[in-house]
Structure 1
Amino acid sequence: MARTPNSEGTEQRRGRGRGGEGGDRDGRGRGRGPEAARPEENEFVDKLVHINRVAKVVKGGRRFAFAALVVVGDAKGRVGYGSGKAREVPEAIRKATEQAKRNMIKVNLREGRTLHHDVNGHFGAGRVILRAAPAGTGIIAGGPMRAVFETMGVADVVAKCLGTSNPHNMIKATFDALVNLNSPRSVAAKRGKKVGDIIGRRDGAAAATAA
């Protein structure tokens, strides 16, 4: 008879820890955490640009690994790229995506659809030419550069890559050009003028060139 109170106390303690109300509340609270973080992760758009299989020669054979190149953007002017290497393809893509999110840059877009002005970029042997385009032009660019513009949110642009077809060099040259982009507001702030003066001169020069 002396064991009965101890056994009841043990059952009550187990019930509170495992099946009690406190355990259910903790479980529900923990389950809501990842769901709340999903919208932040879903705001980014990622595209796999290139994946390459690499081999390391070791004693007894070769070990294969995969290198992935990924571009990530929010379709609102932010974009980044990253590369990752792993023994499996999903792991390599995950590493590249995390690196791309850490190395994102902000690009000011004209009317939210195209670039403010023409710009050139280069990296290594690769050179790229990016030109602003009127509405309805679309994205006229190669595969790696197209991925950058789609994830960044550009709707109208004309781009050309010269000197190389290496996707890594093309991506880096494109980012070199995007970093050198200036908006009329930033130029006006540096020169101490109004935004209307900068835009008026640009429109006048464009009309003179068309004439």
Structure 2
Amino acid sequence: MAEEIKKVATDKTPEVKPADTGRNSDGFRPARRFGSGRPGAVNDGFDTKLLDLARVTRVTGGGKRMSFRAIVVAGDRKNKIGIGVDKGRDVSQAIEKATSRAKKNLINVVIVNGTIPHQVEAKYGPAVILLKPQRTGRGLVAGGAVRTICDLAGIKNISSKILSGSKNKLNNARATMEALKKLKAR
């Protein structure tokens, strides 16, 4: 009786299905899917760029507590732009929270023929930014945070100058946002 059971089990070979081998019914591997890789992440039309990431420390009675501060710029490359700053216990949490905040703080930028309608200057803290319109084909003549913000806002031709000596990315980014808020369609 025991021999018969062994015979039945060895006579039947397991059939290998295409799903078990990682291949589809044609025998080929399925195409890769590109995206953020995070489940539940929705493509809402906004591109994001990390402007700055810093490890910051809070000194408490029990010692030092480390956290991360992320500055993220989000824009749709049409006319909406936002900046978000937030902290988290780890890098990914800080970036995720800052991205969420950037998408909540959106402003509309006036863009005429790929550039701004007029020259504008703005100040935020010690940072002073000058933005000038440029003719088509000139390109983005800007550096640092100003370039990132103008690119994600969809401004194709602009000239900018950081008039202050401020090297602080956050202050320069906020001064740029203030300048873009001042724009009016003529």
Shorter-chain TM band = 0.7 to 0.9
Report the equivalent of 2:19: none
Question: Which protein has greater RCO, CA pairs closer than 8 Å, 6+ apart?
Answer: 2
Report the equivalent of 2:92: 90
The percentage of aligned residue pairs carrying the same residue is 37
Report the equivalent of 2:70: 68
Matched, 1:38 2:42: yes
Report the equivalent of 1:146: 147
Matched, 1:57 2:67: no
The 4+ residue runs of structure 1 with deviation greater than 6 A are none
- TM-score when normalising by structure 2: 0.75
* Residue ranges of structure 1 left out of the alignment (5+ in a row): 1-33, 185-211
Q: What is the CA–CA distance in structure 2 between the aligned matches of 1:181 and 1:59, rounded to whole Å?
A: 48
- For 1:38, what is the secondary structure of its paired residue? coil
Report the equivalent of 1:107: 109
Report the equivalent of 2:184: 182
Displacement of 1:60 = 5.4
Q: What is the CA–CA distance in structure 1 between the aligned matches of 2:42 and 2:60, rounded to whole Å?
A: 42
The C-alpha deviation readout for 1:98-129, integer Å capped at 9, x for no partner, is 11111100012011x11111110111111100
- For 2:184, what is the secondary structure of its paired residue? coil
What amino acid is the match of 1:123?
Y
Structure with bigger helix share is 1
Q: What is the CA–CA distance in structure 1 between the aligned matches of 2:138 and 2:62, rounded to whole Å?
A: 55
Matched, 1:160 2:161: yes
Displacement of 1:59 = 4.8
* Residue ranges of structure 2 left out of the alignment (5+ in a row): 1-38
- TM-score when normalising by structure 1: 0.66
Report the equivalent of 1:125: 126
- For 2:100, what is the secondary structure of its paired residue? helix
Report the equivalent of 1:137: 138
Report the equivalent of 2:5: none
The C-alpha deviation readout for 1:74-107, integer Å capped at 9, x for no partner, is 0001001010101111110111111111110001
What amino acid is the match of 1:38?
V
What amino acid is the match of 1:127?
V
Aligned residue pairs, count: 147
Please tell me the root mean square deviation across aligned C-alpha atoms, in Å: 1.6
